[in-house]
């Protein structure tokens, strides 16, 4: 450092002067020629010359401007550093003390002159002064000058040796540092930011006035880490803030200190929110210092609290509004539901009244003709009643398809093969005025679907297309593989994945958006009265949804229509169509088998009982589950339970069968239901020995199923 260099130079000068003093003592005074032999005097002069040479070498080696002032002659000798440091060549400098004094700044000159002469004229040896010295370019350098006075044996000052250290760079650095500190102080004061400085080893903590203000500590009050900082924190925040400091001082961490806490003013008791940020400094793997800033964030916290309150209020308003909208939507849905139910029940009532008229009328005429003995005419009434009943069954089937509650028999199906098998039927249905084109995709995937229901859906779509082209046109049946990404699947209300599509398009009248929106509503039709039930598309929609797929209509008025079924891909081979074998006549029972029939409809019980009697089985009847269960828990022989699923009294047919099997574990059960097999299936599967038939069914089909079940082993 600069002070160390000056001290080293001073020590060298003192050593040289000590040698010179010793030499002078040996030589004696110049007037006392006899005290020392001249040979010795010559030797002493040589030693003095050697000492002076060493001094000159030392002065040449330093970067400081070294001067040697002969006080008696008022001459000054400079080393070469005078030029390097201040631009004055030693040869050009006047070799007098007056030249040196003249180059001192006028404001400093008197002070330096008085200070140095106070040492020279007194008994002191060391002098130190700081002043401004004019360089050769006219500018001033700030120097630290230190001199050592050499005295003779009488104590008179005869010589002074010193060195000038240029402090300009350090002074500029100090000025810049002060300016920076001033700017920082002004900036932090303007921003209301406080500062802290924590010395880890000593535990010394320093706060500026703003930091004290945030902790409610009066100016000048001593502060400490535990007694002031931790004690001034809100109890709920104390442990967290202490942990944040420990984490910052951890050598394994980042050294960053960043936390927020509340303070409780030690003198005023005011609660304040503070954000603290800082940086830790480490030496030899240990934290030695933590410096940082603190900022009052009370207004921000207040704004955040108000924002939260506003958000909560907004959420309450949104929730209330949403609830009101949900209520309105629910009311609208209920209104639409009631409208749809009204339309549905009206359509059902209309169609069933027509069918019942045909059935009851035929039965009345049948009864009348039998009473009149005109039995030859009864066949046509029987046929008429059966036809009306079959149409009623078909209507029920369509309603179940619409509600997605029909009993399906899904199988791996090759839709290309299915369409090819129906192509001739489609052409005959369309008539001679239509052009039919079938476009079958190569490598079409298999789908798991009920092939009979898919055939019905395809035929229905073709009939609709035919009716939309009264003047003739083109019908196209097309299959394709479809890979629906997230967007395409979302547009079709399906999960993303692989599907096959079966599309039927025509060049007919097309549909308006309003018609498309209602096309799948039950009993909605655009056909003239008597030419359509309005259940075709709704049945197709229900079938597609029940099969895990979707149906979509693409149409514009006057531009034709295209209806597409999307069915999920099935990874498996399609099944070959197996023709139904002809059933042989059923043999009569010969082992006294007994069948329990449980149904709340007396007519159904009567018909099933008569079928059983025709087959030679004994029949037991019950109108509800409680009565049936009583018989099942008795010791009577019962080989088969035939029961409806929906029964009165709080227990359905499946529950009765499960209870009966506790007493009769091997009991065989045939569920007959007019709705669907869902209730019979229960938790998702039928137990072994349980089967389902959907009403209405032909009596011969019932007889066949009963015989098969009884004969099973």
Which pLDDT value is given to residue 386?
76
Q: Residues 500, 444: contact at Cβ < 8 Å?
A: yes
Distance CA 66, CA 164 (A): 6
Q: How many CA atoms lie within 13 A of 464 on its CB side?
A: 25
**CA angle (701, 703, 709) in 5-degree steps:** 105
Going by C-alpha positions, the residue among 546, 530, 364 that lies closest to residue 449 is 546
The 3 state secondary structure assigned to 488-501 is HHHHCCCCCEEEEE
Distance CA 42, CA 52 (A): 15
For 448, other C-beta atoms within 10 Å of its C-beta total 17
Fold topology of 2-168: Beta-Lactamase (3.30.450)
Which residues on neighbouring strands pair with residue 77, listed in sequence order?
Answer: 68
Q: Which one has a higher pLDDT value, 10 or 99? A: 99
Distance CA 662, CA 642 (A): 17
349 alpha-carbon distance from chain centroid: 54
Which pLDDT value is given to residue 335?
65
**Secondary structure (DSSP) of 437-473:** EEEPPTTPPEEEE-HHHHHHHHHHHHHHHHHT-TT-E
Task: Assign 44 to helix, strand or coil.
Answer: helix
Residue 194's H or E segment, with its range, is: strand 193-199
Q: Residues 680, 634: contact at Cβ < 8 Å?
A: no
Distance CA 212, CA 356 (A): 97
Q: Residues 680, 673: contact at Cβ < 8 Å?
A: yes
Which pLDDT value is given to residue 140?
93
Which pLDDT value is given to residue 321?
87
Mean pLDDT of 472-488: 92
Distance CA 672, CA 692 (A): 6
Q: How many CA atoms lie within 13 A of 398 on its CB side?
A: 24
CATH of 594-711, one of 3.90.1150.10, 3.10.20.90, 3.40.50.2300, 3.40.50.170: 3.40.50.2300
Residue 236 pLDDT > 80: yes
Distance CA 257, CA 316 (A): 38
Residue 695 pLDDT > 80: no
Which pLDDT value is given to residue 593?
85
Residue 50 pLDDT > 90: no
Domain boundaries, the chain: 2-168, 191-296, 302-400, 406-570, 594-711
Q: Which one has a higher pLDDT value, 329 or 563? A: 563
Residue 244 pLDDT > 90: yes
Strands 640-644 and 594-598: parallel
Q: Residues 232, 266: contact at Cβ < 8 Å?
A: yes
Mean pLDDT of 486-514: 90
- Report which DSSP code applies to 33: T
Q: CA of 589: how far to CAs of 347, 613, 671, 699, in Å? A: 45, 9, 21, 17
Which pLDDT value is given to residue 478?
94
CATH assignment, 406-570: 3.30.565.10
Percent of the chain with pLDDT over 70: 77
Model confidence at 684, in pLDDT bands (50, 70, 90)? very low
Which pLDDT value is given to residue 460?
82
Strands 640-644 and 668-673: parallel
Same CATH topology for 191-296 and 594-711: the answer is: no
Task: Assign 608 to helix, strand or coil.
Answer: helix
Weakest-pLDDT range from 118-127, 333-342, 539-548: 333-342
Residue 258 pLDDT > 90: yes
Which pLDDT value is given to residue 106?
95
- Report which DSSP code applies to 231: T
Q: Residues 332, 326: contact at Cβ < 8 Å?
A: no
The 3 state secondary structure assigned to 632-650 is HCCCCCCCEEEEECCCCCC
Residue 12 pLDDT > 80: no
Model confidence at 232, in pLDDT bands (50, 70, 90)? very high
Which pLDDT value is given to residue 103?
92
Helix, strand, coil in percent for the chain, rounding step 5: 45, 25, 30
Which residues on neighbouring strands pair with residue 566, listed in sequence order?
Answer: 501, 550
**CA angle (142, 148, 153) in 5-degree steps:** 160
Which pLDDT value is given to residue 223?
93
What phi and psi values does residue 236 have, to the nearest 5 degrees?
Answer: -75, -20
Task: Assign 293 to helix, strand or coil.
Answer: strand
Residue 166 pLDDT > 80: yes
Name, in order, each residue with C-beta under 8 angstroms of 374's C-beta and a sequence gap of 6 or more. none
Distance CA 19, CA 33 (A): 21
Weakest-pLDDT range from 20-24, 118-122, 205-209: 20-24
Chain mean pLDDT for the chain: 80
Residue 391 pLDDT > 50: yes
CATH architecture entry for 191-296: 2-Layer Sandwich (3.30)
Distance CA 587, CA 403 (A): 39
Mean pLDDT of 159-172: 86
Between the two ends of the chain, the Cα-to-Cα distance in Å is: 112
Residue 493 region by backbone torsions, left for phi larger than 0, else alpha for psi between -120 and 50, else beta: left
**Secondary structure (DSSP) of 549-611:** -EEEEEE-TTS-EEEEEEEEEESSPPPPP-PPPPPPPPPPP-S--EEEEE-S-HHHHHHHHHH
Q: How many CA atoms lie within 13 A of 712 on its CB side?
A: 17
Which pLDDT value is given to residue 51?
53
Residue 402 pLDDT > 50: no
Mean pLDDT of 422-443: 85
Q: Cis ω on the peptide bond leading into residue 696 (within 30° of 0)?
A: yes
Q: Which one has a higher pLDDT value, 382 or 120? A: 120
For 560, other C-beta atoms within 10 Å of its C-beta total 21
Residue 328 region by backbone torsions, left for phi larger than 0, else alpha for psi between -120 and 50, else beta: alpha
Distance CA 505, CA 152 (A): 131
Distance CA 86, CA 15 (A): 28
Going by C-alpha positions, the residue among 508, 706, 510, 522 that lies closest to residue 619 is 706
- What is the pTM assigned to this prediction? 0.37
Strands 690-694 and 140-151: unpaired
Digit-coded pLDDT (tens) for 92-122: 778 888 888 899 999 999 999 999 999 999 8
């Amino acid at each position: 450092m600069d002070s160390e260099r000056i001290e080293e130079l001073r020590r060298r000068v003192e050593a040289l002067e000590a040698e010179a003093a010793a030499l002078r003592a040996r030589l004696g005074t110049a007037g006392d020629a006899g005290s020392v032999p001249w040979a010795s005097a010559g030797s002493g002069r040589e030693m003095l010359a050697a000492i002076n040479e060493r001094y000159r070498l030392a002065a040449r080696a330093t970067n400081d401007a070294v001067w040697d002032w002969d006080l008696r002659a008022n001459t000054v000798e400079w080393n070469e550093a005078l030029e390097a440091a201040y631009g004055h060549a030693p040869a050009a400098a006047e070799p007098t003390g007056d030249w040196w004094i003249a180059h001192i700044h006028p404001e400093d000159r008197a002070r330096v002159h008085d200070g140095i002469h106070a040492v020279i004229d007194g008994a002191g040896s060391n002098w130190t002064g700081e002043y401004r010295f004019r360089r050769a370019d006219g500018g001033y350098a700030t120097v630290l000058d230190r001199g050592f006075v050499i005295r003779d044996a009488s104590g008179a000052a005869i010589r002074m040796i010193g060195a000038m250290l240029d402090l300009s760079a350090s002074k500029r650095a100090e000025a810049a540092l002060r300016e920076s500190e001033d700017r920082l102080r002004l900036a932090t004061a303007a921003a209301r930011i406080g500062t802290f400085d924590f010395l880890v080893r000593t535990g010394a903590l320093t706060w500026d006035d703003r930091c004290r203000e945030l902790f409610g500590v009066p100016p000048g009050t001593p502060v400490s880490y535990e007694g002031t900082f931790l004690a001034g924190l809100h109890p709920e925040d104390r442990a967290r803030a202490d942990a944040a400091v420990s984490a910052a001082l951890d050598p394994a961490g980042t050294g960053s200190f960043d936390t927020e806490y509340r303070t409780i003013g030690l003198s005023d008791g005011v609660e304040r929110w503070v954000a603290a940020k800082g940086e830790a400094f480490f030496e030899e793997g240990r934290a030695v210092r933590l410096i940082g800033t603190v900022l009052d964030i009370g207004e921000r916290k207040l704004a955040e609290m108000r924002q939260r309150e506003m958000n909560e209020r907004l959420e309450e308003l949104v929730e209330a509004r949403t609830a009101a909208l949900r209520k309105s939507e629910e009311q609208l849905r209920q209104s639409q539901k009631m409208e749809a139910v009204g339309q549905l029940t009206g359509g059902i009532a209309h169609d069933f009244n027509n069918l019942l008229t045909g059935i009851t009328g035929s039965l009345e005429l049948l009864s009348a003709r039998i009473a009149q003995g005109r039995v030859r005419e009864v066949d046509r009434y029987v046929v008429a009643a059966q036809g009306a009943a079959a149409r009623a069954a078909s209507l029920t089937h369509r309603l179940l398809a619409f509600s997605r509650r029909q009993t399906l028999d899904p199988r791996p199906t090759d839709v290309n093969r299915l369409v090819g098998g129906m192509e001739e039927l489609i052409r005959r249905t369309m008539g001679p005025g239509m052009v039919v084109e079938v476009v079958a995709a190569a490598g079409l995937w298999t789908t798991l679907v009920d092939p009979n229901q898919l055939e019905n859906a395809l035929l229905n779509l073709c009939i609709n297309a035919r009716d939309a082209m009264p003047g003739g046109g083109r019908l196209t049946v097309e299959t394709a593989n479809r890979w629906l990404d997230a967007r395409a699947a979302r547009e079709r209300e399906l999960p993303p994945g692989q599907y096959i599509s079966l599309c039927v398009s025509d060049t007919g009248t097309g549909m308006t958006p309003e018609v498309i929106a209602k096309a799948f509503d039950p009993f909605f039709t655009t056909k003239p009265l008597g030419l359509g039930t309005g259940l075709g598309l709704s049945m197709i929609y229900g079938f597609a949804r029940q099969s895990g797929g979707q149906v979509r209509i693409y149409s514009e008025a006057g531009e034709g229509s295209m209806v597409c079924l999307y069915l999920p891909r099935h990874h498996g081979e399609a099944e070959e169509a197996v023709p139904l074998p002809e059933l042989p006549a059923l043999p009569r029972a010969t082992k006294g088998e007994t069948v329990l029939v449980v149904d709340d409809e007396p007519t159904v019980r009567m018909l099933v009982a008569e079928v059983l009697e025709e087959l030679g089985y004994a029949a037991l009847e019950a109108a509800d589950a409680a009565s049936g269960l009583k018989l099942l828990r008795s010791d009577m022989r019962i080989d088969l339970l035939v029961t409806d699923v929906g029964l009165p009294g709080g227990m359905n047919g499946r529950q009765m069968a499960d209870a009966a099997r506790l007493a009769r574990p091997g009991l065989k059960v045939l569920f007959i239901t007019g709705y669907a097999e869902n209730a019979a299936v229960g938790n998702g599967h039928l137990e072994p020995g349980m089967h389902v038939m959907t009403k209405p069914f032909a009596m011969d089909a019932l007889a066949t199923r009963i015989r098969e079940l009884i004969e099973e082993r």
